[in-house]
Structure 1
Amino acid sequence: MAYFIIGAEIAFWILIVVGLVLRYILKLKRLSIFVLAASPVIDLVLILLTVLDLKNGEIATFVHGLSAIYIGVSIAYGKQMIEWADQQFKWLVLKVDERPKKAYGKEKSKRETIGFVRHLFAYAIGSAVLWGILLFLGKDEQTISLFYVWSIWSIVVVVDGIISISYIVFPTTKK
């Protein structure tokens, strides 16, 4: 299962690079949009493989739970990751620097808050997938590690929220 997750991540980034090459190097904007929009298919295949693996009697591991996290993060952060890759491609290949400048104060707290909301969205999607698998399989001894993955992720979300709020309470200043 770990290989499927690694393969999904590699496939995601290959699609992104191919999409950016099509857009900026080969000037095929419509085709690049199609290629970039195909990345959610990778998520669908990954979750189907996870469910099939568990349905065939495999004992759930952290890696199975990680596939649900991957789905949530991919959906919640996918557009942002593509925009980041677009900026990096322009900077590294086209020598056009459109990267955002480092933020301080209110701007930093706003970015952190948006990032936390995005994390909550990823958490909601990943949690729905995890709990959907738990309800679908209904085998506690087979799927207990999925519950543990969800519990750990819940703690991570709380810590992220505390850190994000700290930027509002204690805004950063330019040195």
Structure 2
Amino acid sequence: MLVVVIAACEVGFWVVLAAGLVARYPLRMRRTGAVLLLGVPVVDLVLLVTTVVDLRGGATAGFAHGLAAAYLGYSIAFGHSMVRWADERFAHRFAGGPPPRGKPRYGWARARYEWVEFGKAALATAIGCGLLLMMIALVGDHDRTVALTGWTARLGLVLAVWSLWPITHTLWPSRPKKGAASPPPAERARPR
């Protein structure tokens, strides 16, 4: 049942986000759009409460409980940037806003971008592991929470693999192919 709630929360996140952006731009109802966008974190709260209620009700923690903690960690850490990403595209399409920013493609600007994304992934891992530890403490029965301890290792593995991108872009910064247009000055500049 919890897997269904996780799926519903993922769908709910995008539905609430889309409703907020549609109200904000095509319908030009800025306040309504803002209120709807403030509802995006409520979806995460629903999942957290459902998970805690399930565990407090005597359920043995399983794969779905660990997945809920991981989902919440990543949703909290990446939620703001996902909302900003969607907002830029809606503003450009429906309100004459500037073209959406893409990620830098070359050099130190790309390396810096990858480190920022890695920082979000590290935050997501910390939140997810914190929620897992909270669930373990909340239940207080090792036999009922053994599945959750495995999730801390999974989240750590995901973070370790993720670290390869910023390390690679730092050690071997990408360059435009010969004959291609030179990158914008911001992408050529080296960080200080």
TM over 0.5: yes
Counterpart-to-counterpart distance in 1, 2:49 and 2:130: 15
Contact 2:103 2:113 in 1 (8 A): no
TM-score for both structures, normalised by structure 1? 0.92
1:95-150 C-alpha deviation (Å, 9 max, x unpaired): 86324255211111011000000111111111111100111111111111111111
Give the alignment partner of residue 122 of structure 2, picking from 114, 120, 124. 120
Point out the structure with the larger helix share.
1
Counterpart-to-counterpart distance in 1, 2:138 and 2:20: 36
Contact 1:88 1:99 in 2 (8 A): no
Identify the residue that residue 25 of structure 1 maps to in structure 2: 26
Q: Extract unaligned runs of 5+ from structure 2.
A: 178-192
- What displacement does 1:87 show? 2.9
Deviates more, 1:105-114 or 1:78-87: 78-87
Q: What letter is aligned with 1:60? A: A
Counterpart-to-counterpart distance in 2, 1:87 and 1:23: 12
Deviates more, 1:13-22 or 1:79-88: 79-88
Identical-residue share of aligned pairs (%) = 34
The number of residue pairs the alignment matches comes to 175
TM-score for both structures, normalised by structure 2? 0.84
Contact 1:60 1:143 in 2 (8 A): yes
Counterpart-to-counterpart distance in 2, 1:147 and 1:110: 33
Counterpart-to-counterpart distance in 1, 2:18 and 2:130: 30
Contact 1:50 1:64 in 2 (8 A): yes
Q: CA RMSD in A?
A: 1.7
Q: What letter is aligned with 2:5? A: F
Q: Extract unaligned runs of 5+ from structure 1.
A: none
Identify the residue that residue 103 of structure 1 maps to in structure 2: 105
1:42-91 C-alpha deviation (Å, 9 max, x unpaired): 11110111111122222212211111111111111111101111233345
Contact 1:59 1:143 in 2 (8 A): yes
Does residue 59 of the first structure (1) align with residue 86 of the second (2)? Answer: no
Q: What letter is aligned with 2:47? A: L
Deviates more, 1:112-121 or 1:86-95: 86-95
Larger Rg: 2
Residues 30 and 145 of structure 1, relative CA distance in 2, 3 Å threshold: same
